[in-house]
Amino acid sequence: MNAMNDLKTDHTNAAWHQRRLDATPRGVGVMGDFFIDHAKNAELWDIEGRRFIDFAGGIAVLNTGHVHPKVQAAIAAQLQRFTHSCYQVVPYAEYVSLAERINAIVPIEGKAKTAFFSTGAEAIENAIKIARSSTGRSGVIAFGGAFHGRSLFAVSLTGKVQPYKAGFGPFPPEIYHVPFPAEGASLDETKRAMDHVFKCDIEPSRVAAIVFEPVQGEGGFNPIQKDAVLWLRALCDQHGILLIADEVQTGFARTGRMFAMEHYGVSPDLMTMAKSMAGGTTLSAVSGKAAIMDGPAPGGLGGTYAGNPLAIAASHAVLDVMAEEKLPERAQRLGDQLVAHLRAAKAKYPRIGEVRGLGAMVACEFVDAAGAPDADTTKQVQAAALKRGLLLLTCGVYGNVIRYLFPLTIEDSVFAEALGVLDAAMAETLA
Ligand SMILES: Cc1ncc(COP(=O)(O)O)c(C=O)c1O
């Protein structure tokens, strides 16, 4: 069949939805029943011409918006030169200069080095490999509610069974989970669980790394307690364990700083990043203390597509845009505005639970009359917003949290319009 004729004859959302069900496995779950045609900054249009305001950002990837002109120009310019050589075969200077730029801004004490990969999960996998190779130890400790990706080791670190882990075991040995010390939770409980792991499962001298998200993303936009970060750093120093901050979702201006760890004044040993670092192209990275990063022998790190030239070019442009448009400051201002808006709504609607966040990494919970997590109401608010053209994402271990991942470059008028839509969706669902 001729693909173009095919598109012209039945290019509707309903037709593609049916074809998707037939051609792709159900495991690749899809939230929307409409198909994107094009997008610009914080807006996207489906193949039937309907406009949406995008507060999902392709799951935290579009801090610089859809098709930022500078990112687009950087990719277009790179496209004229070459698209692939495999960095490990024929290197390119822009990979090195991007590593230099990232090394200069990561909140890591002393000399840093950076290696590039393609996805967040791949960055996590490699951070663990680097930690194991440089410490000669095997154990890894992660947190309940964490999300570190879907590849087999990353999903083993993930602390949420449904839908990520169910049916995919057995998982690699020597991974342990302890409760996440979110703001408002008990740090003592985490400390007790860590003691338990050290007494019953593995001696600290065999633990290579503790990996955590400064603000849990999929887990519900829970910022970690500052005291917990200080405690983790001290615990790692005491036992020679490496502290890995997973900044895949928090990085690149979302929290009001380039990296969330800047809020805590604590230096991790290794950091993972991805998502908004390359404006929608596929790029991730591991940065870390130089001596640790040099643990694996030549050939131990990399990948055919790791640090793809188009994505590296895009990432250079993203860093320029973030500085020129002062996106960390803008994230803080828009985040403050959204938090104030949600708190005003909470005063009206008791079904809105906690409103929380760091910078523009903002979320609110929905609860039932008894104050318990209410996933159904959350879905209803999401659906009511979508009906009015506002794309929202849910998250949280109980599925009762809506997170707001608008581009930080969003026009003020579109941001105000989106808040109006949100008000209408809440009024329909919660009043
Ligand atoms: C904190 C964190 N780590 C890792 C990942 C995995 O990234 P990817 O989906 O690019 O593999 C995600 C994705 O949502 C994430 O939020």
- Which among 125, 248, 254, 277 is the best mutation to test ligand 1's pocket, defined by most ligand atoms within 8 Å of the CB? 248
Instruction: Identify the domain containing residue 392 by its residue range.
Output: 31-60+326-430
**Same structural domain, 76 and 88:** yes
Q: Residue 1: its pLDDT value, please?
A: 44
Is any ligand 1 atom within 6 A of the Cβ of residue 246? yes
* 37 inside domain: yes
Give the number of other Cβ atoms within 10 Å of residue 429's Cβ.
19
Kindly give the residue spans of alpha helices, DSSP state H, lying in 327-411.
Answer: 327-348, 375-387
In the chain, the number of structural domains is 2
Cα gap 422→136, rounded to integer Å: 51
Which pLDDT tens digit goes with each residue over 339-358? 999 999 999 999 999 999 99
For residue 312, CA distances in Å to 50, 306, 322, 393 come to 33, 10, 15, 28
Do 119 and 205 belong to one domain? yes
219 lines ligand 1 (CB under 6 A): no
Find out whether 414 and 379 touch, Cβ atoms under 8 Å: no
Longest CA span, the chain: 66
Statement to judge: residues 198 and 284 lie in one domain: yes
Q: Which of 111, 112, 180 is nearest to 145 (CA)?
A: 180
Q: Is residue 352 part of a domain?
A: yes
Question: Is 248 a pocket residue for ligand 1 (Cβ < 6 Å)?
Answer: yes
Tens of pLDDT along 406-426?
Answer: 999 999 999 999 999 999 999
Quote the DSSP letter at residue 258: S
CA of 1 to the centre of ligand 1 (A): 37
Same domain, 320 and 343: no
222 and 340 share one domain: no
User: How much is the pLDDT for 139?
Assistant: 98
Q: Do residues 89 and 221 both lie within one domain?
A: yes
Q: What is the C-alpha to C-alpha distance for residues 46 and 36, in angstroms, rounded to an integer?
A: 4
pLDDT of residue 99: 99
**Co-location of 147 and 168 in the same domain:** yes
Can you read off the two tokens belonging to residue 149?
A: 């990706």
**Residues in the chain, total:** 431
Residue ranges in the chain whose pLDDT is less than 70: 1-9
**Last residue of one domain, picked from the residues 304, 324, 344:** 324
Give counts: helices (H), strands (E), the chain.
14, 17
Residues 220 and 250 in one domain: yes
Contact 313, 63 (CB under 8 A): no
Task: Report d(CA 170, CA 192) in Å as an integer.
Answer: 26
Identify which of 117, 221, 249 to mutate to test ligand 1's pocket (most ligand atoms within 8 A of the CB).
249
Same domain, 302 and 406: no
User: pLDDT (tens digit, 9 = 90+) per residue, 102-147?
Assistant: 999 999 999 999 999 999 999 999 999 999 999 999 999 999 999 9
